[in-house]
Amino acid sequence: MNTEKAQMIFFFGLVLGVVLFNFFMFLPYLSMLFLALIFTIIFNPLHEKIVSLTGGRETLASAFSTVSVLLFIIGPVSLLGFLLFGEATNLYNAIANQGTITAGVSSQVNSVAVRIHSIVPNLSVESLESGIDTYLRQGLAWIISHMSTFFGGIAKILFNLFLMLLALFYFFRDGKKFVSSLVDLSPLKDSFDRHIIKKISLAITSVIKGHMVIGLVQGMVTGIGFALFGIPSPILWGTIAGIASLAPTVGTSIVLIPGVLFLALSGNTLPAIGLLAWGIFAVGLIDNILGPLLIQRGVNIHSFLIMLSVLGGLALLGPVGFIAGPVALALLFALLDIYPSFVNNTEEEIKEN
């Protein structure tokens, strides 16, 4: 082996070792850095407007942009997460301690079980109540196990929030420098690099601002409807409805129809009719109203795949996976969209796109 080849192998081995060391060193904070990067991409148009309003003072504009994201996005979402975690924990503890569903719910569940037993005599009331109890235990245990790592302590939460806001500030202020550095380091042509970055930004913005925002709004409206018409744990079911809204065709009906049946079978006919009307007019029209406004052109990802990416992200990464899953899917579609141009190696085709 000649000296030059040995030096090359040693150098790249050293680089690989250092990269791996730094990766594991930053691993505990990657989720916060990832969220900060996503928020930076989504709110970059707002940041550009703030920069122009502040006369091009990047530091001041970055501070205003960071505070805006905190007030309008991070704060409300964190509050929702705390409420969801608390509601799921309380319900699970009540089931675990009492061996059955909470007192406020047990009578309604018993009424539903009696009604179903009258329709299907082969199913006993006791087995129906036991089945509902088991499914609730399993579902709530899954939610709590995945969220407890995220909401594991006040000090940890505050530190993660501070870290994310600090990263968000620097991404806003120095984002263009970071992009230029990546372009310089990349072995690809600069035109390819910038085209890839543009496509990835478009994909992330389209998925998050379109499908995810619509899902969040539909989940919130569903939760409000459940609270108005007497369904227990409205925040929990509203969150599930938000994820279910990503499923094509059926959407939030996966949650709304069982809610209507629950009220009807427990003898609450008028609330059942009210919840049904709420689902049709309040929840059902959101997609038709917000969809054309929020979903951008340029990325065509089926909503069923987005739903699977949300579920897979939650299972793999916990609460951060709610965003990480769809973003990873968007990255894949963006790269697949770029692939023909990259293979043909034609800059003209890139400029046209």
* pLDDT score recorded for residue 102: 45
Lowest mean pLDDT among 83-92, 159-168, 202-211: 83-92
Which of the two residues, 146 and 44, has the higher pLDDT score?
44
Angle at 127 between CA 122 and CA 129, to 5 degrees: 125
Q: How far is it, in rounded angstroms, from Cα 101 to Cα 105?
A: 6
CA dist list (Å): 154 to 149, 157, 161, 251, 320: 12, 5, 10, 35, 18
Residue 352, pLDDT > 50, answer no
Q: How far is it, in rounded angstroms, from Cα 82 to Cα 4?
A: 58
* pLDDT score recorded for residue 244: 80
Residue 128, pLDDT > 70, answer no
* pLDDT score recorded for residue 63: 92
Percent of the chain with pLDDT strictly greater than 90: 8
What is the end-to-end Cα distance of the chain in Å, rounded? 47
Which of the two residues, 8 and 106, has the higher pLDDT score?
8
pTM higher than 0.75? no
* pLDDT score recorded for residue 325: 81
* pLDDT score recorded for residue 129: 59
CA dist list (Å): 8 to 3, 15, 16, 136: 9, 11, 12, 58
Residue 42, pLDDT > 50, answer yes
Q: In 3-state terms, what secondary structure has residue 338?
A: helix
pLDDT in tens, 249-270: 677 888 888 888 888 877 788 9
Residue 193, pLDDT > 60, answer yes
* pLDDT score recorded for residue 171: 92
In which band, very low, low, confident or very high, does the pLDDT at 49 lie, cut at 50, 70 and 90?
very high
pLDDT in tens, 13-23: 898 999 899 88
* pLDDT score recorded for residue 100: 45
CA dist list (Å): 222 to 213, 239, 254: 14, 9, 11
* pLDDT score recorded for residue 62: 92
* pLDDT score recorded for residue 18: 92
Residue 348, pLDDT > 60, answer no
Which of the two residues, 271 and 105, has the higher pLDDT score?
271
* pLDDT score recorded for residue 263: 85
In which band, very low, low, confident or very high, does the pLDDT at 103 lie, cut at 50, 70 and 90?
very low
Burial 271-286 (b: 16+ CB within 10 A, else e): bbebbbebbeebbbeb
* pLDDT score recorded for residue 101: 45
Which of the two residues, 196 and 134, has the higher pLDDT score?
196
* pLDDT score recorded for residue 297: 53
* pLDDT score recorded for residue 145: 61
Residue 64, pLDDT > 80, answer yes
- Write down the mean pLDDT value for the chain: 76
Which of the two residues, 334 and 125, has the higher pLDDT score?
334
Q: What is the mean pLDDT of residues 131-148?
A: 62
Q: Which is nearest to 333 in space by CA: 150, 171, 207, 211?
A: 207
